[in-house]
């Protein structure tokens, strides 16, 4: 009996010692690995968010792309001579005399006139669109407080890693967007030319949609960030609302990665409305040609 008692005491004592050793080991590992990793992601997330705010309100100057735009404009303007010559040859050959042919020629000439004007004004129009985007972004942007977002993200290291990765992807997205803004200066007149040339209209429509979608990425990113920061800033009012705000805020942050698709949809709808407007314009352009005086050979 005495030996059994001694054995139980030894087992109990060793278990206490083992628990203390495991607790000390866990604390040591936490201090050596978890805490530095947590602090590193915390600082990284803070720096990334500050960088997002700087990039988000900045647009690249268009001056470096002006010379390239001027070359493209000159080339495209000279190509209109070929387009008009082609239409003139078809007219002289007598292949455009009926009612349908009159409408076709009217659209060709009217579209060409509008296209020439838009191509030569494309640099100014591009600047105006960017200023429109800046104005819309300024309406919804306010300097956010990052405290709620950082604190909520720091609740769990896994959540912090996800948020840091998402913010990094947003930064890369904005950098690419700003580079493509410069490329858009050159692509815009090309898109206009292709759009008003019937055989390549769908390619011109695609180029112009992508150009405008890229410009307005900034506005939709600002809008998503504004909602996201407002959600995180409201955390703490109650448990239910805090959970909802945190989940909704995280969803809005992830939605920022899908903004290019949202912007593309917006640009596609705007392009459809613009197409209807230009269609009305080209249909009422007066053509100073008397078709009734033209006759085909053999008539």
What's the pLDDT at 184?
94
d(CA 137, CA 7) in angstroms, rounded, equals 76
Question: DSSP secondary structure string, 168-224?
Answer: HHHHHHHHHHHHHHHHHHHHHHHHHHHHTSGGGHHHHHHHHHHHHHHHTHHHHHHHH
Sign of the C-alpha dihedral, residues 54, 56, 59, 65?
A: positive
The pLDDT score that the predictor gives to residue 95 is: 52
pLDDT value of residue 216: 94
What pLDDT tens digit does each residue of the chain (299 aa) get? 555 554 444 454 555 444 444 445 445 554 555 567 666 767 777 777 777 778 877 888 999 999 999 999 999 988 887 777 776 666 666 554 566 666 666 667 667 778 888 899 999 999 999 999 988 888 887 766 666 666 665 555 666 677 777 888 888 898 999 999 999 999 999 999 888 877 888 899 999 999 999 999 999 988 888 888 777 766 666 656 667 777 777 788 788 889 999 999 998 988 888 777 766 655 554 444 444 444 444 44
Residues 233 and 145 sit within 8 Å (Cβ to Cβ): yes
Reported pTM:
0.72
**Contact call for residues 177 and 211 (beta carbons, < 8 A):** no
Identify the sign of the CA torsion 152, 158, 164, 169: negative
> Residue 21 has what pLDDT?
46
Q: For residue 290, give every residue at least 6 positions away whose Cβ sits within 8 Å of its Cβ, in sequence order, or none.
A: none
**Residue among 69, 71, 47 at smallest CA distance from 163:** 47
Burial 187-213 (b: 16+ CB within 10 A, else e): bbbbbbbbbbbeeeeeebbebbbbbbb
Dihedral (CA of 190, 195, 196, 199) sign: positive
What is the predicted pLDDT for the residue at 128?
94
End-to-end CA, the chain: 132
Q: How far does Cα 77 stand from its chain's mean position?
A: 30
């Amino acid at each position: 009996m005495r030996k059994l008692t001694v054995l139980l005491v030894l087992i109990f004592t060793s278990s206490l010692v083992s628990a203390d050793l495991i607790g000390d080991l866990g604390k040591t590992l936490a201090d050596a690995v978890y805490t530095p990793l947590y602090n590193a992601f915390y600082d990284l997330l803070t720096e990334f968010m500050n960088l997002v705010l700087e990039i988000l309100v900045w647009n690249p100057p268009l001056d470096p792309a002006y010379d390239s735009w001027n070359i493209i404009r000159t080339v495209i303007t000279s190509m209109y001579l070929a387009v008009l010559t082609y239409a003139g040859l078809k007219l002289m050959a007598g292949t455009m005399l009926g009612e349908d042919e009159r409408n076709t020629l009217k659209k060709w000439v009217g579209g060409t006139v509008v296209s020439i004007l838009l191509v030569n004004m494309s640099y100014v129009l591009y600047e105006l669109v960017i200023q429109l985007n800046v104005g819309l972004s300024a309406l919804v942007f306010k300097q956010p407080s990052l405290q709620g977002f950082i604190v909520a993200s720091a609740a769990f290291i896994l959540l912090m890693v996800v948020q840091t990765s998402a913010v990094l992807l947003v930064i890369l997205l904005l950098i690419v967007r700003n580079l493509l803004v410069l490329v858009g200066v050159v692509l815009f007149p090309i898109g206009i030319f292709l759009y008003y040339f019937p055989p390549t209209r769908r390619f011109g429509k695609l180029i112009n949609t992508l150009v405008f979608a890229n410009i307005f990425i900034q506005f939709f990113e600002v809008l998503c960030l504004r909602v996201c920061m407002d959600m995180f800033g409201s955390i703490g009012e109650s448990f239910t609302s805090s959970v909802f705000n945190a989940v909704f805020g995280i969803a809005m942050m992830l939605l920022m990665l899908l903004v290019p698709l949202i912007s593309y949809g917006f640009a596609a709808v705007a392009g459809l409305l613009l197409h209807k407007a230009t269609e009305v314009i080209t249909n009422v352009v007066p053509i100073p040609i008397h078709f009734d005086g033209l006759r085909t050979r053999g008539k």
